Structure 1
């Protein structure tokens, strides 16, 4: 039956429910049921002792749940000694999707990741993660560790070495699609491969070229249909890693940086290609958990707490924009965990995480309005043709939704109009096509009943299947008499990263009152007086609220130095602006900053808050190596004011040098 109908059961998991409706969570072609990564928080009254933790794991095992090897390693570090307990335990569990409701009875399911089919065929290369990390000499405990989580990490690059053949990379996790290889361990899921320093140095000594090693590793881990970034001339991860901690392997001027060990996570291509963050956030969280565990091993090897500075130059849009957002909340948890287990002092975060503030200032993705009976929120959500991925729009009400009504009108009759009270819409509705699968759906978002998710199928499916009409979708929120509620609409990111095969094409919001003259951009691009706004355009993680967590905006060289034309703007209760800003563009014409390519000796330019963040990380490392402070005031050279500028933050990173023809 086509047309809108209410879901048989009230959806609970947002985009995971949309995937289930599309059949993504049904049995795979090999007959194996698809499983999902579930992010579980257990915090019972009285805490958990070791026996309670083991009993919990037994219950999870009975549901068909599995752990990754890094998760099992992390759990070992969480077991309290006899007679003690922990107030909270967090786990990443891979289990069949139909078991989610039973898992939710054991604790709070904070997030459900995208499904994967398990088991699959074994990998062509097998290796167990090493339990011990090799150290080159007795590095002092105060020498920091650099962590980088990104796409396409060139782990053989000369700028990550000490001399010709000694690697600074203590360990790297090359993530890939989940598998359960034979003989890998009962109940364990394998996600890619981990290399330690010894593995990397063996490769360096083999005489094989960097390019050949990368190709061989990528063939063993990734399907040929996925982009292996280290097979190409440049990658986002190569540029970020070099910006954050790259050093000449021989120059005396870089001797301090060469003492800094590196932990790295290479994200799977499928997670990077899906810019909505649906696949990205789960892998970032798993990578950070692994990184914290490996850094704790280095702490034990060095005999004391070690500062860990992690750069995550990735991000998505949408979400509540506060510290409760999934990625922001879990990063804060890992920061607390590292401080506790590393032995850092009470005023020392131990782990510091630096993130980009976002690049979506001009992308027309946010609208805000106070909805009254005489002032509805009316928007046109423009979907592009040839969009091979689903599109999502979030509606969030900052208060009681009683009296609000939501209407959706498609650009053609394939999807009939829908008009429902907000609370009724939150029960879940779907509009099926002839196949019985939905072209569109209205779903509740898991974290709050005051948030709705409008999901649309791709506008193009080369292999067949239901599609949503491209064009202008009319979205309207109205209020009954006596109702006055602030409502925010935000389009989730849906573009295709540079170098990847076309997947998404970014939809945007439009309004008749928009688009006045923008003097800087020399076009009719300013949102004007309508509800579409550039405020609140920051990344989903921008509301993170922890000492040691910094968000970074981008600046452009010029007279005067000004925010880059893409750098996001604050404007939510959880994020008034970035922590600080750093130069990410050498000028209006010469965009980006000069960084390393994938292969040793190559170079490329990278622009965006993605390159501003590692500039801050590099400065923090340099200051630690010389015994200087790395608090926010130390980095900007002045005491932070009472509130940040909405795009610049509390100030600019002090001491950055301008680009010249001879380089920095």
Structure 2
């Protein structure tokens, strides 16, 4: 197979992830039979209104007119439109999620708003069956019967609202119910947003892009009224068939689901235990689209996560505008700027802080810190300065055979160094080298096959201004096509060792951080992705902790530092990140399990804290509820740890309210030592476990042997 690298060339693209994903979509679409009705591709964009030439009221009016215009290239989802139209609490900045027809000319609206982020294009084809119901227009928190209304009014002060964004929420599970006074049960969920890929409807609703459906507590209680004859699996199956009629992993069809397990650790309770205060905690849930979850690179789920947080905050204001809102997000990816400037972590932190500042309602966001310590996805090189003498710094990136998904690596110089001061060379497994060449942000080089199809690209991504003080810096990126085909005729990248080389264009040596983006397959999902990794002769030393040859010798470019979740990199007061702690029965102490990610001195040095996520090395994980009531499964990792810290914050709700009112303290000050145990971290393990190991919050089921 003949492969040739092209010279640097300018390309109109937002970032390498979107450009490469779009190229893969277009190429695969061309291999399928043509759709006689065509497609209506649109890209999600997130915008900030400009008010330099208009009043804010006039800017909102102009945006409403734009998304309501039948011939406009811009649409909105119903919840965002309700906020714009003044039908929902407006405490967030005037920033909105829109959908823009692919290929639309941005010039006519450039004076109305600036674009902060762009997402992966979706097919809004109205000829497809749209089974999603209208986003609820009633006050979802107010859709209560008399008993619920009475208890809502009598809810104790500082009762926390627990919210979760995740995959697979078993919202009918008994652990999320509350016992009625006269027999039977009702749900603790105030509302659940079951997201699916966007669709439009012909007719009067054609100006809205529907992102699944919202279930109110009245609807959920209608199912619970059938107890004890309720078949939970049948309800989930019918909903999944509606929301994902042709494709999409139906997680709640399976016996265990990640979101259910995490939420049980965060806020699950025995509904018959009247003494457990957790049974009175209101719940909100956002179940992300399965296609977004399946893409572990994070390329697809950013827009859904941000919209989900905005929806949660609006719902929480209707439930109790003074109650603390604690949002659990046990999702993430590995590669990223890790300085708080990736759109998702930046925007979620911005919304949480803005909401609290404008309404006074406390908001806390809990991220899992990550489980990739041993993944060999992070490396650090020293790019030599000068043109002569020392050769470039190099490392091998191994792309695995039979990988059905793209692979990516990000290359970023140390803070304060301009990326254009670097040069990058990429050599294929057969020895075809790109060579070094100076590039400017917005330029790419493509590796093309004999048919002229790109099978890899080297990008120098442009900078993006997030606000007046925050800018996402340019960075180098390499994207590979899959090494095996879903469709016959698809262009493939060769599997094997790709050699990455970096050098400085200045006289100074430069430290360079390389991160391979996550690209594996999740449990129960179709096995498509095979994780690529860095390789080095120094990466096979004896490891006395693991008792194998997975150790990293001194001087190895592969590192375990900086292997944490790229979305857990904001250090604002409202944001928590959580590491996993493992109980050691032999010493009656806690330690960091081998998978728990590590912070870095060039980024976030450590998580906020850790909680127990493994009952021992043999009895891995902690026990929580599966999808169906009565089932129990083990869950480990920082997802389990984040769920347990969410519960700890819920038990500390009164302290959070007081700290918010006082406007002081640190994250650790939110944890109530009167209700929790804050244990010291073993020496040398703070980079994995944070400032303390938090225990005593309960949540996990006891093991019986």
Using the size of structure 2 for normalisation, the TM-score is 0.85
When residues 199 and 88 of structure 1 are mapped into structure 2, their CA distance, relative to the original with a 3 A threshold, is: closer
Cα distance between partner residues in 2 of 1:336 and 1:449 = 23
Q: 109, 124, 136: which is aligned to 2:115? A: 109
Q: Which residue number in structure 2 is paired with residue 238 of structure 1? A: 260
Superposed, 1:284-295 pairs within 5 Å as 284-295=305-316
Matched, 1:331 2:355: no
**Unmatched runs of 5 consecutive residues or more in structure 1:** 345-349
Q: Which residue number in structure 1 is paired with residue 512 of structure 2? A: 487
When residues 404 and 624 of structure 1 are mapped into structure 2, their CA distance, relative to the original with a 3 A threshold, is: closer
Matched, 1:372 2:384: yes
Cα distance between partner residues in 1 of 2:135 and 2:305 = 21
Contact 1:11-1:444 at 8 Å conserved across structures: no
Q: Which residue number in structure 2 is paired with residue 248 of structure 1? A: 270
194-203 vs 137-146, which moves further: 137-146
489-498 vs 125-134, which moves further: 125-134
Using the size of structure 1 for normalisation, the TM-score is 0.90
Matched, 1:544 2:546: no
1:194-249 Cα distance to aligned partner (Å, 9 max, x none): 10000101112244411101101100001354221111110101101101000111
Cα distance between partner residues in 2 of 1:571 and 1:556 = 21
99-108 vs 612-621, which moves further: 99-108
When residues 23 and 259 of structure 1 are mapped into structure 2, their CA distance, relative to the original with a 3 A threshold, is: closer
Q: 1:591 offset after TM fit, Å?
A: 0.9
1:598-638 Cα distance to aligned partner (Å, 9 max, x none): 00011101011000001011111123269997851353857
Q: 400, 404, 410: which is aligned to 2:422? A: 404
When residues 106 and 565 of structure 1 are mapped into structure 2, their CA distance, relative to the original with a 3 A threshold, is: farther
Q: Which residue number in structure 2 is paired with residue 633 of structure 1? A: 669
Matched, 1:507 2:532: yes
Task: Find the residue that maps to 2:571 and give its secondary structure.
Answer: coil
When residues 160 and 354 of structure 1 are mapped into structure 2, their CA distance, relative to the original with a 3 A threshold, is: same
Q: Which residue number in structure 2 is paired with residue 67 of structure 1? A: 76
Cα distance between partner residues in 1 of 2:383 and 2:87 = 48
Task: Find the residue that maps to 1:178 and give its secondary structure.
Answer: coil
Cα distance between partner residues in 2 of 1:47 and 1:354 = 37
When residues 493 and 411 of structure 1 are mapped into structure 2, their CA distance, relative to the original with a 3 A threshold, is: same
1:244-280 Cα distance to aligned partner (Å, 9 max, x none): 00011111232x1111111100111111111000112
Q: 533, 546, 552: which is aligned to 1:527? A: 552
Cα distance between partner residues in 2 of 1:125 and 1:325 = 30
Q: 1:157 offset after TM fit, Å?
A: 0.6
461-470 vs 481-490, which moves further: 481-490
Task: Find the residue that maps to 1:502 and give its secondary structure.
Answer: coil
Q: Which residue number in structure 2 is paired with residue 652 of structure 1? A: 693
Matched, 1:22 2:24: yes
Contact 1:22-1:438 at 8 Å conserved across structures: no
Matched, 1:476 2:487: no
1:572-616 Cα distance to aligned partner (Å, 9 max, x none): 544111000111111111111100010001110101100000101
1:370-416 Cα distance to aligned partner (Å, 9 max, x none): 31143632110001111100000001123034553211111126xx3
1:43-89 Cα distance to aligned partner (Å, 9 max, x none): 545885211222244456675111111211233459999xxxx9952
**Unmatched runs of 5 consecutive residues or more in structure 2:** 464-471, 660-666
Q: Which residue number in structure 1 is paired with residue 169 of structure 2? A: 153
1:312-337 Cα distance to aligned partner (Å, 9 max, x none): 11111211101212111111122133
Superposed, 1:418-457 pairs within 5 Å as 418-423=434-439, 427-447=443-463, 450-457=474-481
When residues 394 and 222 of structure 1 are mapped into structure 2, their CA distance, relative to the original with a 3 A threshold, is: same
Matched, 1:228 2:254: no
Cα distance between partner residues in 2 of 1:128 and 1:628 = 31
1:446-499 Cα distance to aligned partner (Å, 9 max, x none): 435640110000000131200100110011002346132221110000000011
Contact 1:64-1:96 at 8 Å conserved across structures: yes
Matched, 1:661 2:703: yes
Cα distance between partner residues in 2 of 1:552 and 1:628 = 21
Contact 2:353-2:574 at 8 Å conserved across structures: no
Matched, 1:167 2:176: no
Q: 566, 581, 596: which is aligned to 1:567? A: 596
Q: 1:148 offset after TM fit, Å?
A: 0.8
Q: Which residue number in structure 2 is paired with residue 310 of structure 1? A: 327
When residues 435 and 181 of structure 1 are mapped into structure 2, their CA distance, relative to the original with a 3 A threshold, is: farther
1:342-395 Cα distance to aligned partner (Å, 9 max, x none): 333xxxxx1111110111111000111231143632110001111100000001
Contact 2:15-2:461 at 8 Å conserved across structures: yes
Contact 1:7-1:430 at 8 Å conserved across structures: no
Contact 2:652-2:671 at 8 Å conserved across structures: no
Matched, 1:605 2:616: no
Task: Find the residue that maps to 1:430 and give its secondary structure.
Answer: strand
Matched, 1:209 2:231: yes
When residues 98 and 387 of structure 1 are mapped into structure 2, their CA distance, relative to the original with a 3 A threshold, is: same
Superposed, 1:343-362 pairs within 5 Å as 343-344=360-361, 350-362=362-374
Contact 2:420-2:440 at 8 Å conserved across structures: no
Q: 295, 309, 317: which is aligned to 1:274? A: 295
Q: 150, 158, 164: which is aligned to 1:142? A: 158
When residues 259 and 186 of structure 1 are mapped into structure 2, their CA distance, relative to the original with a 3 A threshold, is: same
Q: 70, 92, 95: which is aligned to 1:90? A: 95
When residues 152 and 659 of structure 1 are mapped into structure 2, their CA distance, relative to the original with a 3 A threshold, is: closer
Q: Which residue number in structure 1 is paired with residue 61 of structure 2? A: 54
Q: 1:644 offset after TM fit, Å?
A: 9.4
When residues 245 and 434 of structure 1 are mapped into structure 2, their CA distance, relative to the original with a 3 A threshold, is: same
When residues 434 and 117 of structure 1 are mapped into structure 2, their CA distance, relative to the original with a 3 A threshold, is: farther
